[in-house]
Structure formats: structure tokens, C-alpha cells
Amino acid sequence: MLKGAISIDVDTLSTHLHGFGLNQKDYDFADFRLGIENFLRFLDELKLKATFFIVGKDLLNQQNVETLLKARNAGHEIANHSMHHIQGFRFLNREQKITEIKNTQEIIEKNTLNKVVGFRAPGWNIDNQTLEILSSMNYLYDSSIFPSSFNPLLKLMHFKATSQQPRTARTTLGQIKYCFNRTAPYQLANDQSRGHYLVELPITVTPVFRLPFFATFLLKTGLIPFKASLQMIKAWQRPIIYEFHLFDFVDFAKPELKHQIPSKFAKGIYLPQSIYTPFKQKWQLFYQAVSLMKQNYQFETLETLAKRFIHHDTQI
Ligand SMILES: [Zn+2]
């Protein structure tokens, strides 16, 4: 059986919109609660364990902590997605990056007793300095690099869609060189003196053409290109690191959320398709896609996958 991991970046409306178009007065994190509960049900039906990347500030809300505990108690992994989800993460200075990572780790560990060993940068906006910081903090893995040939196009689309935001927030996907990054997991030998090697688990792209292979792309293209990509990944015996976002599992037609979402035509804010796709349609598509992957892949948490890699399991 080939190995894979499913993860979800828990980016709420408050994180994503930074106040744009959001009715802050009565916003109560309904998307956090409903999205996580739906995703837990999805994982349960498919008998899977996954990794939840959490934005630290969301755990200042006690109801969110209680929702997250359901994930922890069901045996899923809780990992670090920074404290404030600053889109231009790689442009922060060293101290700011450390604070963002450290504070999130502390708030997760204090509230869930889950030891945090993994990180994903907001907007995949990683750089080598962050990788070096993670290694010095003894992190087991990072899963921020998105080594796709589509990156220049995705960067441009993001830049154009975020004209109302500050310059650094208009960047995404890290340094441009990551387009050519290794696509299979590897260890970064950037802290050899201590014998600690951070494992990089890049988000999966297809071999050769490096096409994106994650839920947002699936929603855009449908199942046929997905199946072709899956065939290729399987033929190359690559592990799958598959990424969802919270919005993929949120039903935005719910009364508590309906009035929180900005108009589809709002200018200057990037609004993912998952906000406007009916919940049932998203669920069925994702269910079919994960069921297909499951035929040949055994899914586990990113933590387990990273450990397997360190122990040189030949299957990965
Ligand atoms: Zn995110």
C-alpha cells in the first residue's frame, strides 16, 4: 500500500477576510465549528486520521477550543499554522517569525495537550529562514512547499485578486525557486551540527508536469483531470500529501453564515470557489476523490508520515 496524509488548513472567514466584508459585530466563528464538525464526520465515514493546521488566535475563543478537542480526542493531529495567519509571512523578520510559531505552539499545547511537531506557513508563504527556525525549534516536519509549475500563474492571480490588501499580503506560495523544488518528501540538512533534520513534506503535485493536486484545484477542474493526475502519481509510487481548507467543509448556506460572506463580485478580495459551491456538491466530490485515493493509499497523519520517512520506510 502506498502512503499518504490528508490535512486541512483551518482558515476561518475572520482569518481570510481580515475584516473585509465581514460583519464583525455578530461573527462568532460558526465556520470554525461547522467546518470542523463536518470534516470530522467526513473522516469518520472514510475511517481516516488527518492533520489539522490551526491558527493560534482562533483558540482564544473557548468554543473553538472545545470543537478542536473533538478532533484531538478522535486521534487526529493538531499542527501549527501560525498565530495570526499573516499572508506575507516570509517578509516578517526573524523575531516576528519565531513569535508567530512559538505562540501558536504554546496555545495549542496548553489547550489540547497535543505535542505540536509540524508547521504549515500561511499562504504557503515559506522561505529558507523559516525552515531553519523550525529546525532550531526541533520541529519534526514542515509542509508548506508547493512545488508546482503553476506557481507563477497562481502568484499572479493572487496578486490581482488582492488589490485592497497591503503589498506583502499580495504574495503567496513562497520563494519562486520552490517551483523547481523536490516534489517527494526529503530531509533538510540545515542543522547538521545538532543532528536534527527537519523533514519537508511538500504538497503533492503530479510528476513531470507538476500540476496542482489539492482540493481547491479539484473543485475547479472536477474528477476527470483528478483521476488522470492520480494515475500518474500512483505510477511514480509517490506518497500523497493532500490538502483541504476549512471552507471546503463549511455549508455557507447556514443561517449563521449566510450574511457573513461578501458578494461574489467584491473587488480586491480573493474569494475561494468553496464559499459559493453548494455544500452537498463539495461533499460528494471530495468523498469520491478520497475514496479513489484510498484504493491504493493508506492515509495517516503528517506526523506519522514524517516519522516513517525518518525511519527509512521503503514505502515512502
Ligand atoms: Zn491558511
- Residues 281 and 284: their CA atoms lie apart, in Å, by 5
Q: Mind listing the domains of the chain with CATH numbers? A: 2-310 (3.20.20.370)
Q: Which helix (H) or strand (E) holds 15?
A: helix 13-17
Which of 50, 71, 69, 59 is closest to 29 using CA atoms? 59
Distance 310 CA to ligand 1 centre (A): 26
Ligand 1 centre distance from Cα of residue 58 (Å): 12
Kindly give the distance from the C-alpha atom of residue 144 to the centroid of ligand 1, in angstroms, as a whole number.
10
Q: How far is the CA of 85 from the centre of ligand 1 (A)?
A: 6
Q: Tell how far the Cα of 71 is from the centroid of ligand 1, in angstroms.
A: 18
CB distance 281 to 253 below 8 Å:
no
- What gap in Å lies between CA 31 and CA 148, rounded to an integer? 29
Determine the distance separating the centroid of ligand 1 and the alpha carbon of 143, expressed in angstroms: 12
**How do the pLDDT tens digits run along the chain, 316 residues long?**
999 999 999 999 988 876 454 545 678 899 999 999 999 999 999 999 999 999 999 999 999 999 999 999 999 999 999 999 988 899 999 999 999 999 999 999 999 888 999 999 998 999 999 999 999 999 999 999 999 887 778 778 877 777 777 778 788 877 888 888 888 898 886 666 677 789 999 999 998 889 999 988 899 999 999 999 999 999 999 999 999 999 999 999 998 888 887 776 666 677 788 998 999 999 999 999 999 999 999 999 999 999 988 876 545 5
Confirm whether pTM is higher than 0.75: yes
Distance 123 CA to ligand 1 centre (A): 5
Give CA–CA dist 212/205, Å, rounded.
Answer: 5
Separation CA 257–CA 250 (nearest Å): 9
Distance 104 CA to ligand 1 centre (A): 14
Q: Ligand 1 centroid to 195 CA: how many Å?
A: 30
Give the C-alpha separation, 161 to 270, whole Å.
5
